[in-house]
Chain A
């Protein structure tokens, strides 16, 4: 991806939080150099307090850098006009709790100077997209955490942005919602948008991100494509179907591997993830309401979640 468009660039970006008297409280970010290219999903990873949110806020101009530069679309982060092309979902959806979903989207639409007809159309589409059709007349105060996250996302997409910045998009979502969110993010990428997201849920990042930066204590620890970071060239994995494990098979495999100088570390039946199990239970109970979950005998098929065309495949 080296010679693609750079959408976001940081140069020695540094943020030091100071108190009222200018005394240093916390170095939240230290000389961060990053480039994010058009059309990728870029993940910021790191433990709590490592500076992920700080980075995002610097990119949005919500914070001013202590040193260094943050450039978005080649403009300084403090430039307001770049926001025309950006969508932002905050860590928690801090929206106006006295508005309902429709009014919320209408309000944010006005800030982009969309005309009334476009606003109405966009709002309807987005409410459909985030599955809030049944609750669109309720005020946000009554929404659950997950619903707020969804309306927050809808709000971030109102201007059809080129760059979507998501701060912990899956926090507060159930596994179903998490999967839905991940599918949606991939879908956005497939539409050619650039996405920057941060999370400390590693499996989310692993599932969907093209490249990640790992931060700790405000310092960049690792940067690269997920595949290259995770690839373990010392080991080999093999999956097979149609056979059961038995002594003969094991012996045969051992001999083949010995010929190539390797040894078996583990051999056995794979277990599925809890996530898969959960999704399967929910899907089945939707298909057969009132029936208890029956484990399938056949080998696990990929689970049908709502939008199968964008199903995560990695």
Chain B
């Protein structure tokens, strides 16, 4: 496998949140609205003459009615479109991924919000008036006692076996030691805890119903949802304690006797600052060369092949919009006497060889760290000027200063002067090795200079363009390595802003696992409020399994394939139209395409049912020594989505339980 850290997608950030909340409201609210509508219809049909129990809650009736109005308007908009009124086109809901802002979108969002308010109203009322934590806690304690007395906790001891024997089966290169230990721990803990969570969750309530022990509980002044909440709380507590204990032991297992190679690679928690990756001299700004390798994660740049061909030089450029103040720190490993202050940059690149041989040799590259206001044409000019000035000054210094140590000092001073003057630091001829984390330290005076420039003149883009970044890092392959290509991705190069201790990061990674455990527990208990134990468990396993492949399922479902959706594809087969060809504009064809749109729309709704479990798998961070940030990774990418996913399950569980005939299981 690749010994480097890569993420298939960026963790959700605060900026993504509004869009996520909007689509959450539309989806969860849509389901709520549908449920309310069906409920009202079936109540009216089945119980003519009786009073709907919800009619008593104004908190239900008012928002439900308003939500109905919103959805009605949307329906009217679509009706208007069908009737050929062109002015509704701008008002219709859009399906684009950007923050949507048409009137239809707002109506859908508002309708969803109101429908949710309608279904949450009675729940909130119950919580305020009748649901008591004392009883939930009593049921939670009962669940823990049950699990402990049934020796479920012995399962956790199974981890000890992994610790005892894993070393026999896991061979590793010294530098991969920590990485492999972390993987062993995660890949044994995760199934163990998920299995426990799903079994406990799926079988607890159904077993109570079957054994009828739930009868003595619901005939006490217990709200049925208190049983659900109590079970969840109890098992969550038990699993959290178990997880904490096993995580503590695992940590000891991982950290004992870390060898120095492994420590350098991953026995730490890097706090990286990532830039944006663009290219110059390639096909387009966002694409490098493709070498038909891997799965498109990396783009490649090559060295200057033939100077005479006048091909533009290929550059990979990382732009850093804003840099935090004062990142520079003393380099502890430096051998120089007054230790230099510098900013470390780390990178891990892939090398692609156009010719065989020289397997173990690296590839020579030039790294330029420069003021973001300089463009690539500027770069080549400034580079040249700085080069000339440097050689002039250097010649002068070596002829004028006899004392070697004085001369050394002077040479250094020249470097510093030039960095300040041109706002550019160059590291030429750096040997990059394949898939190794390497470091370049950039002297602090470049950053001092950048900060000064920031004050002197504000960065302003051309009209209609974004402001240039504060800093760029430009990487190119030297002409000494003409037959090699350098594979780069956005996260391959970063500023190492700080380093945190490994153990904290390890425990943060466990928090991701904790989220998964809670997710599985919640789904299992949610299913079990209606389904039997075994069916609940199978549903949970199915949903989790689907969650592992959510991205592939999404691609399938959304039909990005050139043949279109299932109906269109079938039509193409039937009419022998090839996949790429445009479809004739017959009414049949457009009807089928419309059908496919509906299908895709439903698939997208359905996809929301599938939990995004891979986002909670944080072991890549830990194994490769990257800090899991509290804010972006843990809060916005783990906790908030978890709550967003479990909340609808909770609402569903409330109603399923409330309207369940406890003594008449189906």
- Which residues of A line the B interface, CB within 8 A? 17, 19-20, 57, 60-64, 80-81, 83-84, 86, 88, 90, 92, 94-96, 98-99, 103, 107-108, 110-113, 139, 152, 155, 159
Tell whether, in the assembled complex, residue B142 and residue A83 are in contact, meaning their CB atoms are under 8 Å apart: no
12 more A-B contacts (CB under 8 A) besides A80-B130, A83-B220? A57-B663, A61-B219, A63-B661, A64-B661, A81-B130, A86-B219, A94-B212, A95-B213, A96-B146, A99-B142, A99-B145, A110-B137
Tell whether, in the assembled complex, residue B215 and residue A94 are in contact, meaning their CB atoms are under 8 Å apart: yes
- List chain A residues, Cβ under 8 A from B150: 98
* In the complex, B37 has a CB within 8 A of chain A: no
* In the complex, B217 has a CB within 8 A of chain A: yes
Partner of B222, one of A17, A63, A80, A155: A80
- B residues 210-239 near A (Cβ < 8 Å) are 211-213, 215-223
Partner of B223, one of A17, A80, A84, A90: A80
Tell whether, in the assembled complex, residue B221 and residue A63 are in contact, meaning their CB atoms are under 8 Å apart: no
- List chain A residues, Cβ under 8 A from B146: 96, 98
With A and B bound together, what is the CA distance between A86 and B450 in angstroms?
Answer: 78
Tell whether, in the assembled complex, residue A113 and residue B134 are in contact, meaning their CB atoms are under 8 Å apart: yes
- List chain A residues, Cβ under 8 A from B409: none
Tell whether, in the assembled complex, residue B219 and residue A20 are in contact, meaning their CB atoms are under 8 Å apart: no
* In the complex, B149 has a CB within 8 A of chain A: yes
Tell whether, in the assembled complex, residue B145 and residue A98 are in contact, meaning their CB atoms are under 8 Å apart: yes
With A and B bound together, what is the CA distance between A22 and B268 in angstroms?
Answer: 62
Tell whether, in the assembled complex, residue A111 and residue B663 are in contact, meaning their CB atoms are under 8 Å apart: no
Tell whether, in the assembled complex, residue A61 and residue B218 are in contact, meaning their CB atoms are under 8 Å apart: yes
- B residues 84-100 near A (Cβ < 8 Å) are none
- List chain B residues, Cβ under 8 A from A63: 661-664
CB contact under 8 A between A96 and B142, given known A62-B662, A80-B222, A88-B216: yes
Q: How far is the CB of B385 from chain A (nearest CB, A)?
A: 81
List 12 A-B pairs, Cβ < 8 Å.
Answer: A83-B220, A84-B221, A90-B216, A94-B211, A96-B146, A107-B142, A110-B134, A111-B135, A111-B222, A113-B132, A152-B216, A159-B220
With A and B bound together, what is the CA distance between A84 and B219 in angstroms?
Answer: 9
- List chain A residues, Cβ under 8 A from B216: 88, 90, 94-95, 108, 152, 155
- List chain A residues, Cβ under 8 A from B155: none
- List chain B residues, Cβ under 8 A from A99: 142, 145
> For chains A and B in complex, what number of residue pairs have CB atoms within 8 angstroms?
79
Tell whether, in the assembled complex, residue A81 and residue B221 are in contact, meaning their CB atoms are under 8 Å apart: yes
In the complex, which residue of chain B has the Cβ closest to the Cβ of A99? B145
Residue among B130, B134, B216, B223 facing the most chain A CB atoms (10 A cut-off): B216
- B residues 105-150 near A (Cβ < 8 Å) are 130, 132, 134-135, 137-138, 141-142, 145-146, 149-150
CB contact under 8 A between A88 and B221, given known A20-B666, A94-B211: no
Interface residue tally on B, bucketed by range = 20 to 34
Tell whether, in the assembled complex, residue B664 and residue A111 are in contact, meaning their CB atoms are under 8 Å apart: no
Q: How far is the CB of B214 from chain A (nearest CB, A)?
A: 8
In the complex, which residue of chain A has the Cβ closest to the Cβ of B658? A78
With A and B bound together, what is the CA distance between A86 and B146 in angstroms?
Answer: 26
Partner of B219, one of A19, A62, A92: A62
CB contact under 8 A between A80 and B142, given known A90-B215, A95-B213, A96-B213: no
Tell whether, in the assembled complex, residue B213 and residue A62 are in contact, meaning their CB atoms are under 8 Å apart: no
Q: How far is the CB of B379 from chain A (nearest CB, A)?
A: 73
With A and B bound together, what is the CA distance between A81 and B219 in angstroms?
Answer: 10
- List chain B residues, Cβ under 8 A from A80: 130, 221-223
- List chain B residues, Cβ under 8 A from A98: 145-146, 149-150
- List chain B residues, Cβ under 8 A from A88: 215-216, 219
Tell whether, in the assembled complex, residue B219 and residue A60 are in contact, meaning their CB atoms are under 8 Å apart: yes
With A and B bound together, what is the CA distance between A310 and B35 in angstroms?
Answer: 57
Tell whether, in the assembled complex, residue A108 and residue B145 are in contact, meaning their CB atoms are under 8 Å apart: no
Scan B649-666; emit 1 where CB is below 8 A from any A CB, else 0.
000000000000111101
- List chain B residues, Cβ under 8 A from A95: 213, 216
- List chain B residues, Cβ under 8 A from A152: 216
6 nearest interchain CB pairs? A110-B138, A62-B663, A94-B212, A111-B220, A98-B149, A83-B221
Tell whether, in the assembled complex, residue B130 and residue A83 are in contact, meaning their CB atoms are under 8 Å apart: no
Q: How far is the CB of B600 from chain A (nearest CB, A)?
A: 32
- List chain A residues, Cβ under 8 A from B662: 62-63
In the complex, which residue of chain B has the Cβ closest to the Cβ of A165? B219
CB contact under 8 A between A111 and B149, given known A62-B218, A80-B223, A94-B212: no
Tell whether, in the assembled complex, residue B132 and residue A62 are in contact, meaning their CB atoms are under 8 Å apart: no
- List chain B residues, Cβ under 8 A from A61: 218-219
With A and B bound together, what is the CA distance between A159 and B663 in angstroms?
Answer: 23
Scan B395-418; emit 1 where CB is below 8 A from any A CB, else 0.
000000000000000000000000
Q: How far is the CB of A194 from chain B (nearest CB, A)?
A: 16
Q: How far is the CB of A189 from chain B (nearest CB, A)?
A: 21
- List chain A residues, Cβ under 8 A from B211: 94
With A and B bound together, what is the CA distance between A80 and B150 in angstroms?
Answer: 31
- List chain A residues, Cβ under 8 A from B664: 17, 63
- List chain A residues, Cβ under 8 A from B213: 94-96
Q: How far is the CB of B152 from chain A (nearest CB, A)?
A: 12
Partner of B138, one of A62, A81, A83, A107: A107
- List chain A residues, Cβ under 8 A from B223: 80
With A and B bound together, what is the CA distance between A84 and B222 in angstroms?
Answer: 9
In the complex, which residue of chain B has the Cβ closest to the Cβ of A156? B216
Tell whether, in the assembled complex, residue B145 and residue A110 are in contact, meaning their CB atoms are under 8 Å apart: no
